[in-house]
Structure 1
Amino acid sequence: MVKKAFLLAVSIVGALTSGFSQNRVPVFRQDVPLDSIRLSDPCILADKKNATYYMTGTGGMLWKSKDLKKWTGPVAIAQTDPNSWMGPMPMIWAAELHQYKDKYYYFATFTNRAVKIDTVGENIIERRASHVLVSDKAEGPYVPMKDPMYLPADKPTLDGTFWVDTDGKPYMVYCYEWLQNLNGTIEKIELKPDLSGSVGESKLLFRASDSPWSRENSKDKAKIAPNKVTDGPWLFRTGTGRLGMIWTSWIYDVYTQGVAYSKSGTLDGPWVQEKEPITPPNYGHGMLFKTLEGKWLMSVHSHKSVNGRTMRYPHLFEVDFSGDKLVVGKPYLP
């Protein structure tokens, strides 16, 4: 199953690599319906200041909308340093926009495919890490800050997201990739007050194998084991004050999202995994946002095979977490 999962990852990356580079010149379009957009890991910022929705994700591009119905874009908004570890043409995955204090921050995964940091079995590990850029405006451009890197150079990390914990300190929560550790993890690291770098060492929150719902065949094919992938963490707090995290893995070859809750109400956990997935099959890498009218929604993507290529499309779901748990409702059609 490890080999099969690796080959699946390679095929997806190979099919979409051209869309991941910030150097690709996008075709600018106007009034595009959401279901006509191809986008992995969609993240939507509802910016009250400009009464505008800003959507980003894998590829480093930005879409804008006033009503969630019609979108304009995409435009490139990430300006990385070609002399940094990222190199001149980094792949950009799972970008997120976060407003914090008087700035806007761009959390994303950057990959320098020209640099190899490790080989584990058949897996050649490229230089990949979560990083943070900053801008004065939601629509960017987003540029580097003080620290040249946030996480260790010898570890592939991805899908960094943002959370301010009960201690009032900002944190990045991210995945340490299964391709190297063979049992993906979700971890946290403290950020500087202005998010311009990281502070101290990271801390493990939980492992992929803690999941009761993800599945893959074991090496001898005689047993079923938890899947090794951790993907797309996003934090939220319920109406009762309970801290939750949605995150994504696989059930065999089906992309699936689950949820975990912290018993302590802080990032330190311990984290208890719900037994069943939170979304229907083939939906994952979710995030939550409140519309300009005050309605909470979940943004996710789905996979679809088109002429042998894997395409990813954004979707919206209604959600309710006013009580003790997150409940995912029907698809939202703006």
Structure 2
Amino acid sequence: MVAGLFIVLNSYAQRKVRYNIPLDSIRLSDPAILADKASKTYFMTGTGGMLWKSKDLKFWDGPFHVAKTNPNSWMGPNPMIWAAELHEYKNKYYYFATFTNRDVKIDTVGGNVIERRASHVLVSNKPEGPYLPMEDETYLPADKPTLDGTFWVDSVGKPYMVYCYEWLQNGNGTMEKIELKPDLSGSIGEGQLLFKASDSPWSREKDEHGNDKPNKVTDGPYLFKTGTGRLGMIWTSWIYDVYTQGVAYSESGTLDGPWLQETDPITPSNFGHGMLFKSFNGKTLLSVHSHKKVNDRTVRIPHLFEVDLTGNKLKVIKPYIP
């Protein structure tokens, strides 16, 4: 979730639960879908700290408030919640999300005041929550703004969080990894660099003199393996003012890379912050959101694309209409 593109939790907390809502009628940034086999239910999270439920991907019930943070923690009593994902792991369900405490300022860079923000993990015994804090109060450094944490387990069974170190502080956003404890209740060691925003050949922006340069934003990592066993990562940046979904592949087949960036984006313009899941009818789907102006206000709408992962590369086939 890019800085400034957020939805305050309170605006959702006051909403009543609605039923049988079409997917394209939901307003949600960073949609992430867990296909829970045990309950034969799809659970969709994203920005705002809420959850939607569906049996068919077409009609949804929600929003339900599921994230229960500790008001005495660094997050404060009412954190903003961005880009939540649900992951099933060892018979529990984990809520990876970005939490922001707007009352705590950690830095000022280039005139931008940087608030206390970090990726964190909550846990539940059920996919519908509630999701509660675990042992460690922090997973990532308090003096760095981090966001969009996602989950990966490597070939020897070590769990990791992969996340973005935000460009607001470093001027060139990075993608990083940190090892997690076996029960995901905290982190081990320090974060390690995977790649920088400037490594992308497709993302662009203008400098202060109007010259082209690589965009500074890293956003929304999500890891996958192709049918040939190749390790890939979808992630998002911008081509000028257009939100854009790209992909990179690890030459070594591990998180350590080196990561080779594909030359071209993988979706049409104005789609981003993707994640992948398999539907109950066996299709691999990409969940993303688009931006649209409505009455001078930007709204974000979830979309699904059908994806082919059987070969050596991820291929986006066509929009998926449930």
TM-score, scaled to structure 1: 0.94
How far 1:168 sits from its partner (Å)? 1.4
Deviations 1:216-254 (A, max 9, x none): 012221x21000000000000000010000000000000
- CA 21–178 in structure 1, closer or farther in 2 if over 3 Å, else same: farther
Q: Structure 2 residue aligned with 1:232, among 220, 235, 252?
A: 220
Is the 1:22–1:91 Cα contact (8 Å) retained in structure 2?
no
Counterpart position of 1:269 = 257
1:128 aligns with 2:125: no
1:257 equivalent to 2:245? Answer yes
- 1:244 equivalent to 2:256? Answer no
Distance 2:3 2:103 in 1: 18
Aligned length: 321
CA distances 1:110-167 after superposition (whole Å, capped 9, x unpaired): 0000000000012100000000000000000000000001000000000000000123
State how far apart, in whole Å, the 1-side matches of 2:314 and 2:166 are.
Answer: 26
Among candidates 290, 294, 298, match of residue 282 of structure 2: 294
Cα distance 1:9–1:268, how it changes in 2: closer, same or farther (>3 A)? closer
Within 2, Cα distance between the matches of 1:172 and 1:256?
23
**Between structures 1 and 2, the one with greater helix share:** 1
The answer (yes or no) to whether the contact 2:12–2:48 under 8 Å persists in 1 is: no
* Residue in structure 1 matched with residue 142 of structure 2 by the alignment: 153
Conservation of the 8 A alpha-carbon contact between 1:22 and 1:76:
no
SS at 2:191's partner residue? strand
Q: Is the 8 A contact 2:80 2:101 kept in 1?
A: yes
Q: Is 1:309–2:297 an aligned residue pair?
A: yes
Unaligned 5+ runs, structure 2: none
1:137 to 114, 126, 134: 126
* Cα pair 1:158 1:176 within 8 Å, conserved: yes
- Give distance in 2, aligned partners of 1:141 and 1:294: 28
- Cα deviation, residue 25, structure 1: 2.0
| SS in structure 1 at match of 2:247 | strand
Distance 2:148 2:56 in 1: 27
Instruction: Return the match for 1:67 from 44, 49, 56.
Output: 56
Q: Which residue of 2 aligns with 1:92?
A: 81
**Structure 1 runs of 4+ with >4 Å offset:** none
Residues 71-220 of structure 1 mapped to structure 2, 5 A cutoff: 71-220=60-209
- The CA deviation string for residues 169-198 of structure 1, in whole angstroms up to 9 with x for no partner, is 000000000001010000000000000000
Whether the 8 Å CA contact 1:109–1:128 is kept in 2: the answer is: yes
Equivalent residue letter for 1:182: G
In the other structure, the counterpart of 1:5 is none
Are the equivalent residues in 1 in contact too, given 2:80–2:99 (CA < 8 A)? yes
**C-alpha contact 1:64 1:72 (8 A) present in aligned 2:** yes
Q: Is the 8 A contact 1:22 1:89 kept in 2?
A: no
Shift of 1:24: 2.4
Q: Given that residues 12 and 50 in structure 2 are in contact (C-alpha distance below 8 angstroms), is that contact kept between their aligned partners in structure 1?
A: no
Counterpart CA distance in 1 for 2:113 and 2:182 is 35
User: Residues of 1 paired with 2:191 and 2:10: CA distance?
Assistant: 28
Residues 22 and 92 in structure 1, CA contact (< 8 A), matched pair in contact too = no
Instruction: Determine the C-alpha separation between the residues in 1 that align with 2:134 and 2:10.
Output: 21
Tell me, what secondary structure is at the counterpart of 1:180? helix
- Give the Å deviation of 1:23: 7.2
What letter matches 2:314 in structure 1? L
Task: Output the amino acid matched with 1:124.
Answer: V
Tell me, in whole angstroms, the C-alpha distance in 2 between the residues paired with 1:90 and 1:254.
28
Report the secondary structure of 1:227's partner residue.
Answer: coil
Secondary structure class of the residue paired with 2:13? coil
Q: SS where residue 264 of structure 1 aligns?
A: coil
CA distance in 1, matches of 2:14, 2:66: 12
Superimposed CA distance per residue, residues 47-103 of structure 1 (whole angstroms, 9 cap, x where no aligned partner): 000010000100010100001111001110000000000000000000000000110
CA deviation string 1:235-285 (max 9, x = no partner): 000000100000000000000010000000000000000000011100000
Post-superposition offset of 1:26: 2.1
Unpaired segments ≥5 residues, structure 1: 1-7
The share of aligned pairs that are identical, in percent, is 75
SS in 2 for 1:179: helix
Query: Within 2, Cα distance between the matches of 1:103 and 1:69?
Result: 26
Task: Output the CA distance in 2 between the equivalents of 1:240 and 1:9.
Answer: 36
